[in-house]
Amino acid sequence: MSAAEATAPGGGVALRRRRTFSSRFFRSELRLVFGRRRNQVGLAVLAAVPVLISIAIKTSASNPQQGAPDFFGSITQNGLFLALAALTIELALFLPIAISAIAGDAVAGEANTGTLRYLLTVPVARTRLLAVKFAAIAVGAMAAAFVVSLTGIVMGLILFGGGDVVLLSGSTASFWDGLLRVLGATVYIGIGLSALGAVGLFFSTLTEQPIGAMIATVIFSTASYIADTVPQISWLHPYLIIHNWMAYVDLLRDPISWSQMGNGLWVALGYGVVFWLLAWARFGHKDVTS
Q: What is residue 12's predicted lDDT score, i.e. its pLDDT? A: 52
**pLDDT averaged per 10 residues in sequence order, the chain, 290 residues:** 43 49 80 90 95 89 50 82 93 94 88 66 72 94 97 94 87 93 96 97 91 95 95 95 94 92 97 96 66
- Residue 2: its pLDDT value, please? 39
For residue 257, the 8-state DSSP code is: P
- Phi/psi for 78 (5° steps) reads -155, 120
- What's the pLDDT tens digit per position in 199-238? 999 999 998 889 999 999 999 999 999 999 999 999 999 9
pTM score, whole prediction: 0.87
pLDDT at 70: 58
Outline where the chain has alpha helix (H): 3-7, 11-35, 37-59, 80-91, 94-106, 108-113, 116-120, 126-160, 175-204, 210-227, 259-284
Dihedral sign of CA atoms 183, 45, 271, 84 in order: positive
